[in-house]
Amino acid sequence: MFSAIRTVSILVLATLLLLGCSSLQGQNQTLYKQLGGQDGVSALTRQLLINMAADDRIAPRFRGVNIGKFKTGLDTYLCSITDGGCVYGGDSIKTIHSGYNYTATEFNALVENLMQAMETLQIPTATQNKLLAKLAPSYQDVVYQ
């Protein structure tokens, strides 16, 4: 009887340890890996662009923009700020947005589109929050510049 209880206890303990280790492993991954690496970031920017194109609040701001170049730059930028090993060599966020006088409403619409893209791709909430925290400081470099 004690042998069976002991065996079950050991199995339960081993399972809990393995589950605990696997969740810690996810916490130690870079944000880039948590987003799915290159494929995940590319899917995210693709879905973001789809959402933006359908959003009348901001779509007009992107008429005439080279979307391929925009997407490539955004992919690289996201890779660099999420510790994916990429080096973003483009202009600063402030320089890129200078002169466009984007409003807080437009910025918030873009954030909503990003959040919808992450939900569509079923990115875990904790990972979404980490990415949003990385991007939040750009507000001051985008709005009313």
Q: Which residues are annotated as a binding site?
A: 97
**143 beta partners:** 102
Sign of torsion, CA 119 135 30 50? Answer: positive
Q: Are the C-beta atoms of residues 80 and 88 closer than 8 Å to each other?
A: yes
Annotated binding site for heme: 97
Between CA 96 and CA 69 the distance in angstroms is 13
